[in-house]
Amino acid sequence: MPDYLGLGMSPGIHPYQHAESQATASIDIMRVCRTICENENRPLNDQLFIMGYSQGGHAVMATHRKIQEEFGNEFTVTASAPGSGPYDLSVSQFEMVASFEPYSEPGYLPFLIQSYQHVYGNLYDSIQQIYVPPYDETLPPLLDGSVGMWEINQAMPAVPRDIIQPAYADMFFSDTLHPAYLALKANDVYEWIPEAPVLFNYCRSDEQVTYLNTLVAADYMTNAGAPSIEVVERDSVLNHFQCAQPAILFSKLWFDGMANFCGEDNTSVDDSKDKTRISIYPNPNSNGVMNFDNPAPVAVRITDLLGRQLLPTTKVKTNGVLDISGLRPGIVLVEMYLNDEMSTQRLVIQ
């Protein structure tokens, strides 16, 4: 989980949607993690999975590309799973944000303008050249990283392009060599050929990042000869925020199918120590029936990852089964009580 430049305690302006800095921040944190593992004698298996959503999806593509093209002697990507990212910034995403229609997060536009002016230095000579009053005075103080997105959105018009000087907009839309267009084009992240598998996730009703970003990126890579590109529409009605959960969850399950786990099951190292006394299978589970390998009758309760009960406590006989067909896909916790002992195991439901 990289700390992008300018966020958190990092000083200075955050170069929002700047592919290069997102990639270098991600690679830097990987190096740090590798060093920590070496210092603590924690062996690694050399598999590398990269996943992100929204801006993180854009960062996944930038990072995967940079590793493949420049750091293949240091890291090898096993697979990546970008979700709902603005991969086609210069066309698909920009047409969504810069249209004459209202946009749900209008504050993205001034953040992007500030970012590319900071990085490239040639989008405008003065703030008045690009912003109409009063936005030339009201917006810049809100973009120092101390103000929440809600407040910035409230300071914006519903149609983001209404902050732009008409003369500047005319020059931009009439010149494919305009510095602002070249900055957007430089941060498109799909015109390359991944050697490792890529899983694209999106939702068609995404109101913040148009699904066309995904289709354009996947089509380009597939037609260019990328060996393994998968595209999954997770839902047709979920919005951008709602789409994140299934995109992230099912990307993790996709990674699990390729991962070389340290143990023999899919439970993590912090599961209860006595988990070997009772085993559950299959895991992941897609048939709606959970089988138990238990030496004696056991009481079973199933919760979500926040501890909310999904199935009440049920008695399961020795080497019995439990109907879980009513549970939705996801990761759940299976609590098992045997005499005075309790063990908890994670179960992946597909």
CATH number at residue 310: 2.60.40.3080
Q: What is the pLDDT of residue 267?
A: 42
Please indicate whether residue 263 or residue 142 has the higher confidence score (pLDDT).
Answer: 142
Are 106 and 160 members of one domain? yes
- In this prediction, residues 34-57 reach a mean pLDDT of 96
Res. 143: pLDDT tops 60: yes
Q: What is the pLDDT of residue 344?
A: 83
Q: What is the pLDDT of residue 306?
A: 61
Q: What is the pLDDT of residue 333?
A: 86
- In this prediction, residues 158-173 reach a mean pLDDT of 97
Q: What is the pLDDT of residue 259?
A: 84
Res. 340: pLDDT tops 70: yes
Looking up tokens 């810049």 gives 140
Res. 168: pLDDT tops 60: yes
> Do 82 and 198 contact (CB within 8 A), yes or no?
yes
Looking up tokens 């993690």 gives 33
Are 198 and 177 members of one domain? no
Are 100 and 81 members of one domain? no
Q: What is the pLDDT of residue 245?
A: 87
Q: What is the DSSP letter of 297?
A: -
Angle at 164 between CA 160 and CA 165, to 5 degrees: 155
Are 177 and 99 members of one domain? yes
Return the structure tokens found at 230: 């998968």
> Do 134 and 176 contact (CB within 8 A), yes or no?
no
pTM of the model: 0.77
Are 74 and 96 members of one domain? no
Mapping DSSP to helix (H, G, I), strand (E, B) and coil, where does residue 96 land?
helix
The number of folded domains in the chain is 3
Tell me whether residue 268 is in a domain.
Answer: no
> Do 286 and 237 contact (CB within 8 A), yes or no?
no
Q: What is the pLDDT of residue 54?
A: 98
Question: Which of 203, 233, 260 is the last residue in one of the domains?
Answer: 260
Using CA atoms of 254, 255, 258, 259 in order, give the dihedral in degrees to the nearest 10: -140
Q: Residue 126 and residue 129: Cα distance in Å, rounded?
A: 5
Are 166 and 78 members of one domain? no
> Do 309 and 293 contact (CB within 8 A), yes or no?
no
- State the CB neighbour count (10 A cutoff) for residue 79: 23
Are 82 and 223 members of one domain? yes
Q: Residue 282 and residue 292: Cα distance in Å, rounded?
A: 9
H-helix or E-strand containing 222?
Answer: helix 212-223
Return the structure tokens found at 281: 């299978």
> Do 259 and 47 contact (CB within 8 A), yes or no?
yes
Residues with Cβ within 8 Å of 340's Cβ and at least 6 positions away in sequence, in order, are none
Q: What is the pLDDT of residue 332?
A: 86
Are 147 and 94 members of one domain? yes
229-282 pLDDT, tens per residue?
A: 999 998 899 999 999 988 998 898 888 878 887 644 444 434 444 444 788 999
> Do 327 and 289 contact (CB within 8 A), yes or no?
no
Q: What is the pLDDT of residue 266?
A: 42
Mapping DSSP to helix (H, G, I), strand (E, B) and coil, where does residue 34 land?
helix
The average confidence (pLDDT) of the chain is: 91
CATH of the domain at 67: 3.40.50.1820
Question: Which of 205, 228, 260 is the last residue in one of the domains?
Answer: 260
- In this prediction, residues 330-345 reach a mean pLDDT of 84
Are 119 and 69 members of one domain? no
Question: Which of 228, 260, 292 is the last residue in one of the domains?
Answer: 260
Of 102-106, 165-169, 299-303, the poorest mean pLDDT is in: 299-303
Rg (C-alpha) for the chain, rounded Å, is: 24
- In this prediction, residues 222-230 reach a mean pLDDT of 96
Dihedral (CA of 54, 56, 60, 63) sign: positive
301: region left, alpha or beta (phi > 0 left; psi from -120 to 50 alpha): beta
Tell me whether residue 265 is in a domain.
Answer: no
Residues linked to residue 52 through DSSP beta bridges, in sequence order: 82
- In this prediction, residues 93-106 reach a mean pLDDT of 95
Q: What is the pLDDT of residue 271?
A: 44
Tell me whether residue 140 is in a domain.
Answer: yes
Are 135 and 55 members of one domain? no
Tell me whether residue 267 is in a domain.
Answer: no
Mapping DSSP to helix (H, G, I), strand (E, B) and coil, where does residue 281 land?
strand
Res. 294: pLDDT tops 50: yes
Are 182 and 209 members of one domain? no
Of 4-18, 38-52, 54-68, the poorest mean pLDDT is in: 4-18
Looking up tokens 């979920």 gives 238
The residue range of the domain holding 161 is 89-186
Are 217 and 82 members of one domain? yes
> Do 221 and 194 contact (CB within 8 A), yes or no?
yes
